[in-house]
Amino acid sequence: MDIVLLTRLLSIALAIVMLGLGLHLTTADFARVIRYPKAAFIGLACQLLILPAAAFALCKAFALSGNLAVGVMLLSASPGGITANLYSHLFRGDVALNITLTAVNSLLSLVTLPLIVSFSLAHFLSAQQQVPLPTDKVLQVFAVVLVPVSIGMLVRHFAAALAHKLDRPVKILSVVALVLAIAAAIIDQRKSLMENFRTVGAVTLLFNILSLSVGYFAPRIFGVAKPQAIAIGMEIGIHNSTLAIAIATTVLLNSAIAMPAAIYSIFMFTTAAMFGYLVARRGQE
């Protein structure tokens, strides 16, 4: 099973989990995001400005080959993955903010992703290639995130007792889905991981840790509350590797460019879980 198919199957499972997330949300959660836009603005600034710059610096510092460097930049330009919403929920983040950031980032990627990838191709490969707008992927994010969450919110509004009964089973399903995803990703990509770890594994791991750290600590420096900082950390730290792999293989027609995202998809499940545990176990503020 290739990583693209694996992640698509995971997306279906997560769509069910997103239904459960909606059971905890009300319109007041989203209204709070609108009333306090600072957290959302900081999150978007980290995603659009800091992370691509950090990825570029890592590519230069590790002297990556052209294809691998483009792959890392493509990964940095990809918006947050659907899994970020689940992790935010598990580690007591502001899920409403996280869902909002996922939706907004996906829309902005229509412009930012082609620009960053085109720059990377020109800089690292001296190539000029148009990257089509990933409209279908944006619609996929909306479908898997917003639709089931909306259904869950409707269930909570019209059948609060049912929403309460479903809470525990959904949490158990969330943990099971994460464990299966981590195990399947490691088993499925073990050969590629061994072959490419020395060249790009360290870069993708550092980028993953850096993304999580920037996403969490930058908001905290500016006085953002902990639940919102956790949500931003997960949104910034968990990129949509499926989107990056799809563009590399179907648009750029270069499997080498897809390798950083494939290896990153293995690291991100474990590192995000460890990071979430560390920040969530600290005292509530």
The structural domain count of the chain equals 1
232 to 8, 11, 48, 150, 228: CA distances (angstroms):
24, 20, 13, 21, 6
For the segment 43-55, the average pLDDT, to the nearest whole number, is: 92
Of the candidates 270, 240, 276, which has an alpha carbon nearest to the alpha carbon of residue 10? 240
Per residue in 175-221, pLDDT (tens digit) is 676 566 555 655 665 676 677 677 788 899 999 999 999 999 999 99
Report yes or no on 8 lying in a domain: yes
Tokens describing residue 106: 């996906």
Do 67 and 92 touch, CB atoms closer than 8 A?
A: no
**pLDDT on residue 198:** 75
Tell me: the pLDDT tens digits for 131-188?
555 556 556 556 666 777 788 888 888 888 888 888 778 767 766 765 665 556 556 6
For the residues of the chain, what is the DSSP string, one character each? Answer: --HHHHHHHHHHHHHHHHHHHHTT--HHHHHHHHH-THHHHHHHHIIIIIHHHHHHHHHHHTT--HHHHHHHHHHHHS-B-THHHHHHHHTT--HHHHHHHHHHHHHHHHHHHHHHHHHHHHHHS---------HHHHHHHHHHHHHHHHHHHHHHHH-HHHHHHHHHHHHHHHHHHHHHHHHHHHHHTHHHHHHHIIIIIHHHHHHHHHHHHHHHHHHHHTT--HHHHHHHHHHHHSB-HHHHHHIIIIIS--HHHHHHHHHHHHHHHHHHHHHHHHHHSSPP-
Q: What are phi and psi of 48, to 5 degrees?
A: -90, -25
Residue 62 predicted with pLDDT over 80:
yes
- State the Cα–Cα distance between residues 201 and 199, nearest whole angstrom: 6
The per-residue pLDDT for 161 is 86
Candidates 83, 54, 40; CA nearest to 234 is: 83
CATH of the domain at 224: 1.20.1530.20
Bridge partners of 239, per DSSP, are 80
Domain that holds residue 157: 3-278
| CA–CA separation, 279 and 285 (whole Å) | 12
Summarised one tens digit per residue, pLDDT across range 82-92 is: 678 778 888 88
Phi, psi of 144 (to 5 degrees): -80, -25
Stronger pLDDT, 159 or 102, i.e. the higher one: 159
Note whether residue 106 is domain-resident.
yes
283: in domain: no
| 228-269 tens-digit pLDDT | 999 999 988 888 777 787 777 767 777 778 888 878 877 888
Q: Residue 221: what pLDDT?
A: 93
Contacts of 174 (CB under 8 A, 6+ apart): 17, 20, 86, 89, 90
Please give the residue that has the higher pLDDT: either 37 or 249. 37
Give domain status of residue 133, yes or no.
yes
State the pLDDT at residue 7: 54
Query: Is 240 among the domain residues?
Result: yes
Amino acid, res. 233 = G
Q: Within a domain: residue 192? A: yes
Entry pTM: 0.73
Q: Does a structural domain hold residue 43?
A: yes
In a domain, 285, yes or no: no
Judge whether residue 22 has pLDDT over 80. Answer: no
